[in-house]
Amino acid sequence: MKCVIIDDEPLAIDVLTKHLKKTQGLTLQRSFQNAFEALYYVQTQKVDLVFLDIQMPGIKGLQFIRILKYPPKIIITTAYKEYALEALELGVVDYLLKPIPYHRFLSAVSKAMEMKSLPKTSSLGKEISKDKYYFCKEGPVYVKVHERDIGYVHGNRNYCIIHLHNQKIKVKGNLGYYSSVFSEDNFARVHKSYLVSLDRIEKYDSDSLWINGDVIPIGRTYKTVLWDYLKEKTL
């Protein structure tokens, strides 16, 4: 994951940089003490994860999030606990209080890696290739599954249930794995336990969406990006 640190305190940047260097799967692209410079960079470059302070001169952290039309995954790093609820309502991955121990940093990063943000391109929600399929192991046999037939995937700790048009398949593996395998053009996490086909959403309200007649909850962490997609499709 390509990461950016935004914090006006050099010591805080140093701590996060050390944490990043000893964590596999993370690459520090840039660090910024100036929020205005950081804003331009995040808006114009491919950034997967931002570590964002709240109390900064010029642009406060929560203002920074609201300005971004398509925010990347964001982890708040701050000394102020009173903004936690507001930040979580904006869809941040986690809220870390300084000084940040490595185990909390690692926990937050793990959440970010498991999440699947909706992509920023106009290809989002495009028609799935009719030829794309997988053989998924259910018990001792391998079942052919076309992406176009998948409504959603319900994940548990050690296995997932793939919900198709008229059947369910129980497969090994966690939801993060299937989130990385299925086409990012049309599949997105909407809850820590659900991965859905955007093309198969039948209806939605502020807290849930429906696929195959089933009610699927929308997690608070995932709402911001999901709303951006749904608003573009709503008359």
Task: Retrieve residue 223's tokens.
Answer: 């709402």
pLDDT at residue 119 greater than cutoff 80: no
Confidence band (pLDDT; 50, 70, 90) for 112?
A: confident
Residue 97, pLDDT score: 95
Residue type, position 225, single letter: V
Q: Tell me the per-residue pLDDT of 10-30, one tens digit each, with 9 for 90 and over.
A: 999 999 999 999 998 899 999
Counting every residue, how long is the chain?
235
Q: Within the chain, how many helices (H) and strands (E) appear?
A: 7, 15
Quickly tell me which residue has 């300005």 as its tokens: 67
pLDDT tens digit string along 35-59?
A: 999 999 998 898 999 999 999 988 8
d(Cα 63, Cα 187) in Å, to the nearest integer?
A: 29
Mean pLDDT calculated for residue range 185-206: 90
182 close to 167: Cβ distance less than 8 angstroms: no
In order, the DSSP letters of 134-181 are EEEEETTEEEEEEGGG--EEEE-SSEEEEE-SS-EEEEES-HHHHHHH
Confidence (pLDDT) at 128 = 46
pLDDT tens for 54-71 read 999 888 999 999 888 778
CA distance 18 to 14: 6
pLDDT for 123: 42
The average confidence (pLDDT) of the chain is 87
Least confident of 72-76, 149-153, 173-177, 189-193: 173-177
Least confident among 9-13, 166-170, 227-231: 227-231
Q: Around Cβ 181, how many Cβ atoms within 10 Å?
A: 14
